[in-house]
Structure 1
Amino acid sequence: MQDFEIANLIYLSALGAVLISWYFVQNKGGLSKLVRDGAAWVFIFVGTMAVIGLWGDIRQNIMPRQMVMTETGQVELPRASDGHYYVDLEINGNTVPFMVDTGATSVVLTQSDAARIGLDPDTLVFFTQAMTANGPVDTAPVTLDQVTLGKFQDSRIPAYVNGGDMDMSLLGMTYLNRFESIQITKSKMILER
């Protein structure tokens, strides 16, 4: 667990303990009413925790992430509620989610995504560096054998595996430059070949 998750768990546990204590103090009366009302509060608390825990999955389903292929050979990526554009690519037969980053020079994979496509992070050599907003980070150069986006297939795409922590892989300009046009409108990014 990350520190943020542990802090949230401690906070919610303390809040739950306070609510339960308050409830027992307020309901000194009948035990059956106390048990019935207590069970209702437990169900509400567990339901709230379930929604919080599943919010990432719910958000993925609500928030449009995948491209829409048009008849004219365009890829349309809807803008997500956070203002970014996301797309799933198939790399070496495995689906990898990316955040489109026109400010990134290269395609950069997280270590978990690298492992998903068959690259063993333990055998990678992190001898190059990239400058990020948080400073320099070690990277390992790799080549992606087969990359598919809808009907577009590309081979031998240069990329890097990030040696540090990263939330998700970045789709940078070494891949985006394969498109003739990149257009950003109010609600979508349009890639065209």
Structure 2
Amino acid sequence: MNRLFWIIIAVIGGVVLLLMANNDSGTTLGVANDAFARAAYLGIWGIVIAAALLGSGIRLGDFARNIAIWVVIILALVAGYQYRYELQDVASRITAGLVPGSPISKRAGDGSLTVTLAKAANGHFEVNGRVNGARVPFLVDTGASMIILSSDDARRAGIDTGSLSYSVPIMTANGSTNAASVRLDTLQIGDIERRDIRALVAQDSRLNGSLLGMNFLDTLRGFSVRGDELVLSD
């Protein structure tokens, strides 16, 4: 170990002397001084690592295998970081296929946001949104002028349905009924969020599910149907 120490000191000293002697010319042994210094730095570390390896008794084959494993791990991490947005999109699409109603959110480089909804087996566009933080499944209904919550979904979102005034007449698939006007603290569809947005709560159980109506869709930059997908642009 003492011999190795003095060898490294001698190499460092020789490199420093060469760089000092060739400072004015800008090159050492035909190589730019900066490049020569970097090569010498890496070479010295290589000597230290090689000496540590030989002194540890680890077989060269095992050492090479471990280095290869770490190189693969590092390359995988770098590739994952570089393609993180593409991988996130793939993961979202897989989730949407496994969990019906899962929105796929994607933000472009210009900051614009899109949320894509896949058509359900019944031919309608459905999405699992959140109202006041509670999960609420919605049917996207361009024929509904307002967001309409079923009484069950409203209670799940923390709305006291018993204290509401049901004075707004509405028509549902089960016939006509009355609804109450409320303000939702938050409504989230994927990464699109709206605050303090107006909605209706249907009375009793006359509405089987909640509807995502035009007063939400009108807040968007646009929406379009592309085959079996509904794309919301914000």
Range into which the TM-score falls when normalised by the shorter chain: 0.5 to 0.7
Paired residues of 2:184 and 2:198 also in contact (CA < 8 A): yes
Q: Structure 2 matches for 1:26-175, cutoff 5 A?
A: 64-72=100-108, 73-163=113-203, 164-175=205-216
The one of the two structures with greater contact order (alpha-carbon pairs below 8 A, sep at least 6) is: 1
Match of 1:180 among 221, 230, 233: 221
1:70 match: secondary structure: strand
User: Is 1:192 equivalent to 2:229 in the alignment?
Assistant: no
Instruction: State the aligned residue count.
Output: 134
* Cα separation, partners in 2 of 1:94 and 1:100, compared to 1, 3 Å: same
Q: 1:109 Cα shift?
A: 0.3
What is the alpha-carbon distance in structure 1 between the residues aligned to residue 216 and residue 169 of structure 2? 19
Whichever residue aligns with residue 195 of structure 2, its letter is: S
Q: 1:152 Cα shift?
A: 2.2
Whichever residue aligns with residue 100 of structure 2, its letter is: P
Paired residues of 2:179 and 2:200 also in contact (CA < 8 A): yes
1:115 match: secondary structure: helix
Whichever residue aligns with residue 66 of structure 1, its letter is: S
Identity over aligned pairs, percent: 33
Could you list the per-position Cα deviations for residues 173-193 of structure 1 after superposition, in whole angstroms to 9, with x for gaps in the alignment? 011111111101211000001
What is the alpha-carbon distance in structure 1 between the residues aligned to residue 121 and residue 133 of structure 2? 29
TM-score by length of 1: 0.64
Give the unaligned 5+ runs of structure 2. 1-95
Whichever residue aligns with residue 212 of structure 2, its letter is: L
Whichever residue aligns with residue 100 of structure 1, its letter is: V
Paired residues of 1:63 and 1:80 also in contact (CA < 8 A): no
What is the alpha-carbon distance in structure 2 between the residues aligned to residue 67 and residue 151 of structure 1? 9
User: Which consecutive segments of 4 or more residues in structure 1 shift more than 6 A?
Assistant: none
Give the unaligned 5+ runs of structure 1. 1-59
Whichever residue aligns with residue 77 of structure 1, its letter is: L
Greater radius of gyration (CA): 2
TM-score by length of 2: 0.54
Paired residues of 1:78 and 1:188 also in contact (CA < 8 A): yes
Whichever residue aligns with residue 70 of structure 1, its letter is: K
Q: 1:135 Cα shift?
A: 4.0
More helix by share: 2
1:179 match: secondary structure: coil
* Cα separation, partners in 2 of 1:112 and 1:133, compared to 1, 3 Å: closer
Paired residues of 1:63 and 1:81 also in contact (CA < 8 A): no
* Cα separation, partners in 2 of 1:162 and 1:86, compared to 1, 3 Å: same
What is the alpha-carbon distance in structure 1 between the residues aligned to residue 224 and residue 97 of structure 2? 25
Whichever residue aligns with residue 169 of structure 1, its letter is: S
Whichever residue aligns with residue 191 of structure 1, its letter is: L
Q: 1:151 Cα shift?
A: 2.4
- Aligned-residue CA RMSD in angstroms? 1.9
